[in-house]
């Protein structure tokens, strides 16, 4: 494999649909409830992608340094494991994406706050710095939290409420009425749960190798059967939250198109239940990531259509 292909593989492009899904949901919620700023949304996207790639590179470096990426690993060959990229090159790449994340994130905040540096700006900047640190510390260092089973919590928080509510607030220039907008926490949490399900699929695949490497992921801690039950919980609650939001916010028959769109996600649940940890999970990971993005797109379209048609129906009733 050439070095260029190795770098592309190290970026793990199959995970980028997750970053895209968080921004799309956050921006659509802003559009449905208030307004959308396309420049802000674009900057949210570039920041999310930069953070996602940073996390992937740091994960490659951390697992390789700890000897987790051995010949016994079931997953695809990692960049450092292949030998085509050296640890020093990977460190340079990690620093580069830290800089990219900072530049994109600070530009995003500057635009979102319209050049005003206040307390809220400081809070968002701090959250951004914590996100960068979390991307790195997942597997790097003696206190890497991914080796203590805390990766699931981090993924849920940063891919769910933080990313989506953050996108929502920056798009609406902080117009958030808790009495009306609290419901956005449902789809925000749902996306976080689905992204955690992607991590859980990965960790179930690697359960034996992680156990041997003392990487105490959730599946290693609770065992394969319980990890599958946990997987069902993540997907089931996520879909429930999505549908509750649609029924409460703008109920219309068109939202039932979300049901067939969710089949791609449910298929992953069935596959994980039926299949022992193996290389087959590499395909499951790709399918779940794309399935989440597809569902999110359908979810956005159907909710937007429901709101439009309900508005038209309301106007027609007034006219009559």
Q: Judge contact between 97 and 55, C-beta under 8 A.
A: no
Output the six-digit token pair for 253: 């028959």
Say what the pTM is: 0.92
Q: What is the pLDDT of residue 314?
A: 64
Cα–Cα distance for residue pair 29/8, rounded to 1 Å = 32
Q: What is the pLDDT of residue 71?
A: 66
Average pLDDT along the chain: 90
Q: In this model, does residue 228 exceed pLDDT 90?
A: yes
Q: In this model, does residue 42 exceed pLDDT 90?
A: yes
* For the chain, percent of residues with pLDDT exceeding 90: 68
Identify the CA nearest to 292 among candidates 191, 157, 164. Answer: 191
Q: Judge contact between 160 and 191, C-beta under 8 A.
A: yes
181-218 residue pLDDT tens: 789 999 999 999 999 999 999 999 999 999 988 999 99
Would you mind telling me the total number of residues written for the chain in this entry? 320
CA distances to 60, 64, 146, 227 from 218, in Å: 19, 20, 10, 7
Instruction: Considering only residues 201 and 177, tell me which one the structure prediction assigns the higher pLDDT.
Output: 201
Q: What is the pLDDT of residue 70?
A: 64
Cα–Cα distance for residue pair 288/319, rounded to 1 Å = 46
Cα–Cα distance for residue pair 313/110, rounded to 1 Å = 40
Instruction: Considering only residues 231 and 315, tell me which one the structure prediction assigns the higher pLDDT.
Output: 231
Average pLDDT on 17-33 reads 91
Distance of CA 41 to the CA centre of its chain: 16
Q: Domain extents for the chain?
A: 3-319
Q: What is the CATH number of domain 3-319?
A: 1.10.600
Average pLDDT on 78-84 reads 80
Q: What is the pLDDT of residue 8?
A: 87
49-68 residue pLDDT tens: 999 999 999 999 988 888 77
């Amino acid at each position: 494999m050439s070095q260029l292909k190795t770098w592309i593989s190290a970026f793990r492009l199959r995970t980028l649909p997750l970053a895209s899904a968080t921004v799309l949901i956050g921006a659509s919620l802003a559009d449905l409830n208030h307004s959308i700023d396309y420049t802000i949304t674009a900057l949210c996207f570039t920041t999310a992608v930069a953070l996602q790639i940073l996390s992937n590179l740091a994960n490659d470096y951390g697992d390789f340094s700890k000897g987790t990426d051995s010949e016994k690993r079931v997953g695809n060959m990692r960049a450092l494991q292949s030998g085509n990229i050296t640890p020093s090159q990977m460190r340079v790449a990690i620093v580069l994406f830290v800089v990219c994340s900072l530049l994109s994130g600070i530009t995003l905040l500057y635009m979102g706050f319209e050049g005003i540096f206040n307390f809220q700006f400081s809070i968002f900047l701090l959250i951004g710095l914590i996100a960068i640190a979390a991307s790195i510390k997942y597997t790097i260092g003696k206190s890497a939290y991914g080796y203590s089973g805390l990766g699931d919590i981090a993924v849920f928080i940063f891919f769910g409420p933080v990313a989506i509510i953050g996108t929502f607030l920056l798009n609406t220039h902080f117009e958030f009425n808790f009495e009306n907008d609290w419901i956005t926490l449902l789809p925000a949490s749902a996306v976080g749960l689905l992204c955690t399900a992607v991590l859980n699929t990965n960790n179930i695949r690697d359960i034996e190798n992680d156990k041997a490497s003392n990487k105490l992921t959730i599946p290693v801690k609770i065992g394969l059967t319980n990890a599958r039950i946990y997987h069902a919980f993540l997907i089931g609650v996520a879909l429930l939250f999505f549908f509750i939001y649609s029924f409460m916010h703008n109920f219309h028959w068109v939202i039932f198109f979300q049901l067939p769109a969710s089949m791609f996600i449910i298929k992953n649940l069935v596959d994980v239940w039926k299949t022992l940890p193996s290389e087959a999970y590499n395909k499951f990971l790709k399918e779940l990531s794309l399935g989440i993005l597809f569902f999110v797109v359908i979810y956005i379209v159907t909710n937007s259509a429901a709101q439009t048609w309900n508005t038209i129906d309301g106007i027609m009733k007034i006219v009559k």
